[in-house]
Amino acid sequence: MNTRTVWQQALKQLVERRTDVLHVDLSHVGFVDVAGVTDLAVTAQRLSEGQRIVLHRPPAQLPRILELFWPGLAAIEVAS
């Protein structure tokens, strides 16, 4: 099932929040492909100074893809 449009809309709504730390619970997400992680990384790169996204319980491949293609992207934190 293609859920990329829903994912992009959710990221757009996330950025509209005006808080420094944006928490995202991904515990019900089973898979995110490179395109989905790209959307997340691009969103994080567009955040205002001092804002960051904290990912909670992401699928295993998501942190690996982030590290592979966007190492050191400080605007995204994967919570343990």
Q: Which tens digits make up the pLDDT trace of 5-60?
A: 999 999 999 999 889 999 999 999 999 999 999 999 999 999 999 999 999 999 99
φ/ψ bin of 72: left (φ > 0), alpha (ψ from -120 to 50), beta (otherwise): left
What's this model's pTM, rounded to 2 decimal places? 0.91
pLDDT at 39: 97
Provide the sign of the torsion angle of the four alpha carbons 45, 52, 1, 62, taken in this order. Answer: positive
Band of pLDDT at residue 1, cut at 50, 70 and 90: low
